[in-house]
């Protein structure tokens, strides 16, 4: 599992699917290459001053570290956007929140499907939107092996 560091990757993930939770927002986007799962963190300035933002990011990072990597989708980029509740919310509860967020079907909140290919980078120009849509629409066939291999 790698960290997400380039600004272009963050912009790409921000246009993807998102799941809301009390302490964070999970954004995700599938990639075409066969690289590892990458996770980034975003804490905006409206969440407080620098120590508060640092603490939010560190708790979110610890959540991802504690979580079983098999519950994430392979070849995906994830971005956790921190909220103010991440400072005070119980850590075990947040861990459950994150686990639910990874298994919950994602949905697009504000981006229309017409805007998505315009914001996509140049690689995989034609088939990227349709593929993302199909994975969003039917989670059960893609996720069935993931749930089956969860016991180990």
Partner RNA sequence: UCAGUCGGCCGGACGGCCGCUCCGGCAAGCGCCGAAAGGCCGCCGGGGAGGAAAGUCCGGGCUCCCUUGACAUACGGUGCCGGAUAACGUCCGGCGGGGGUGACCCCAGGGAAAGUGCCACAGAGAACGAACCGCCCGCCUUCGCCCUUCAGGGCUAUGGCGUGACAAGCCCUCGGGCUCGCCACGCCGAAGCAGCGCAAGCUGCAUAGGCGGGUAAGGGUGAAAAGGUGCGGUAAGAGCGCACCGCGGUUCCGGCAACGGAGCCGGCAUGGCAAACCCCACCGGGAGCAAAACCGAAUAGGGACGGCAAAUGCGGGCCGAUCGCGCAAGCGAUAACGCCGCGGGGCGGUGUCAGGCCCGCCGUCCGGGUAGGUUGCUCGAGGCCAUGUGCAAACAUGGUCCCAGAGGAAUGGCCGUCACGUAUCGUUCGCGCAAGCGGACGGUGCCCUACAGAACCCGGCUUACAGGCCGGCUGAUAUU
59 three-class SS: helix
Site string for RNA, 17-36 (x = CB under 7 A): ----------------x-x-
Name residues whose C-beta falls within 8 Å of residue 37's C-beta, 6 or more positions apart in sequence: 1, 2, 69, 72, 73, 74, 75, 76, 77, 78
Site string for RNA, 93-132 (x = CB under 7 A): ----------------------------------------
Nearest distance from C-beta of residue 41 to RNA, angstroms: 5
Closest CA relative to residue 97, chosen from 137, 64, 49, 133: 64
CA angle, corner 11, sides to 29 and 33, nearest 5?
A: 40
Nearest distance from C-beta of residue 85 to RNA, angstroms: 13
46 binds RNA (CB under 7 A): no
Residues 128, 126: Cα–Cα separation, whole Å:
6
User: Pick from 15, 25, 30, 59: which binds RNA (CB under 7 A)?
Assistant: 59
What are the residues binding RNA (CB under 7 A)? 3-8, 10-11, 33, 35, 40-42, 49-51, 54-55, 57-59, 62, 65, 79, 90-92
């Amino acid at each position: 599992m790698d960290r997400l560091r380039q600004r272009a990757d963050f912009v790409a993930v921000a246009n993807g699917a998102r799941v809301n939770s009390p302490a964070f927002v999970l954004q995700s986007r599938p990639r075409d290459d066969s690289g590892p799962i990458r996770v980034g963190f975003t804490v905006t300035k409206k969440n407080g001053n620098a120590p508060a933002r640092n603490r939010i990011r560190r708790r979110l990072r610890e959540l991802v570290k504690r979580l079983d990597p098999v519950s994430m989708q392979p070849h995906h980029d994830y971005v956790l956007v921190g909220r103010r509740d991440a400072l005070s919310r119980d850590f075990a509860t947040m861990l459950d929140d994150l686990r639910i967020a990874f298994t919950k079907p994602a949905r697009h909140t504000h981006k229309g499907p017409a805007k998505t290919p315009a914001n996509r980078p140049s690689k995989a120009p034609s088939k990227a939107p349709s593929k993302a849509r199909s994975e969003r629409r039917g989670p059960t066939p893609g996720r069935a092996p993931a749930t089956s291999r969860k016991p180990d």
